[in-house]
């Protein structure tokens, strides 16, 4: 029997608790998951059952949200993060990783956190979830992928100013991103021969050097070398023609050069259902592709679609990895 997915509570003052409940309402028939957090932070009237260990989640799922209790220092007020709860948020993430590494959970799905609240309340030293999870996973090199049914996309650089992208992009860094992505598609998505499309950095992929030379100087030679080594890889391609339906049918993942080049197309295609996946970890990790949404927390209007998609994708990836 497949182990259930560990769903972390995330920031309790955000929409994490309410979308967990709404996700359970849509997923009573599975795949099984359990929520790790303080039951006091769940919306009033939530139907839940506390479980002693993850093995009890599947039996509870049809009639209640399975909860693995993790007591926090304080209550939760929607929209107002409490510094007293910061350490609890951090500890829940570590607990979920411990459970998946012990085999008690099949994957980790993380609800959104607020980095400032964690830094202010507990001195959290990491830029975000991904870096903390990489540390918990033994310092693995990781890559961020955004995925929906129509598209998978990986940005080679992430949260840096646009003016810094050309300096941040290096042959070694791009090659590492491509190799991690290739390995993950085979291991976690059961794609035996991944087709990878790589965007250029400049408009029209540099147009032969007329609009920039990174493509001719080193991106194209790098891709030629990977192609000679057996990779099914195309590019560098003009990014403005990579994401229409006919183009997407020709690859399994697109590697983009910077944040917005990757995220604009996927958020346009599936704003509510995109999933954030961390590739390269020794365990499966997914997350909804949105933040804590303090402005609507506690109002009962938060859309659980991305969390449902993240839980389902985590289950699919765990099955592929176990096969």
Residues in the chain: 323
Which position has the token pair 């497949």? 2
Helix residue ranges per DSSP H, 102-196:
115-122, 129-136, 165-168, 171-188
Is residue 130 a known part of a binding site? Answer: yes
Report the alpha-carbon distance of residue 79 to residue 292 in Å, rounded: 9
Is residue 159 a known part of a binding site? Answer: yes
- 275 to 101, 267, 308: CA distances (angstroms): 22, 10, 9
Is residue 115 a known part of a binding site? Answer: no
Within its chain, how far is the Cα of 195 from the centroid?
A: 21
- Where does the chain show beta strands of DSSP type E? 5-8, 33-37, 48-50, 65-69, 107-109, 143-148, 151-155, 195-199, 232-237, 253-256, 275-279, 285-288
| HEC letters along 204-232 | HHHHHHECECHHHHHHHHHHHHHHHCCCE
Is residue 285 a known part of a binding site? Answer: yes
Is residue 276 a known part of a binding site? Answer: yes
Binding-site sequence positions for a divalent metal cation = 159, 204, 259
Binding-site sequence positions for substrate = 129-130, 267, 276, 285
Binding-site sequence positions = 129-130, 159, 204, 259, 267, 276, 285
């Amino acid at each position: 029997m497949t182990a259930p997915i560990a769903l972390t509570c995330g920031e309790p003052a955000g929409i994490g608790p309410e979308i967990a409940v709404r996700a359970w309402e849509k997923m009573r028939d599975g795949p099984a998951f359990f929520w790790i957090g303080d039951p006091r932070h769940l919306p009033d009237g939530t139907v839940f059952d506390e479980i002693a260990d993850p093995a009890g989640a599947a039996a509870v799922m049809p009639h209640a949200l399975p909860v693995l209790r993790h007591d926090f220092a304080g209550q939760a007020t929607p929209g107002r993060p409490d510094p007293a709860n910061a350490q609890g948020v951090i500890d829940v993430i570590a607990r979920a990783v411990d459970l998946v590494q012990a085999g008690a959970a099949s994957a980790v799905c993380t609800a959104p956190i607020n980095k400032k609240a964690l830094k202010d309340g507990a001195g959290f030293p990491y830029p975000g979830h991904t870096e903390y999870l990489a540390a918990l996973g033994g310092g693995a090199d990781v890559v961020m992928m955004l995925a929906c049914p129509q598209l998978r996309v990986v940005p080679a650089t992430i949260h840096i100013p646009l003016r810094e992208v050309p300096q941040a992009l290096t042959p070694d860094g791009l090659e590492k991103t491509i190799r991690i992505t290739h390995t993950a598609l085979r291991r976690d998505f059961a794609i035996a021969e991944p087709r990878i499309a790589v965007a250029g950095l400049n408009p029209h992929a540099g147009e032969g050097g007329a609009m920039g030379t990174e493509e001719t100087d080193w991106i194209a030679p790098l891709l030629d070398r990977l192609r000679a080594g057996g990779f099914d890889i195309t590019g560098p391609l003009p990014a403005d023609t990579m994401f229409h339906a006919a183009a997407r049918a020709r690859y399994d993942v697109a590697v983009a050069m910077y944040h917005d080049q990757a995220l604009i197309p996927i958020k346009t295609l599936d704003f509510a259902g995109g999933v954030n996946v961390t590739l390269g970890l020794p365990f499966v990790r997914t997350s909804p592709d949105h933040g804590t949404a303090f402005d609507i927390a506690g109002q009962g209007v938060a859309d659980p679609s991305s969390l449902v998609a993240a839980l389902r994708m985590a289950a699919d990836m765990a099955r592929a990895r176990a096969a």
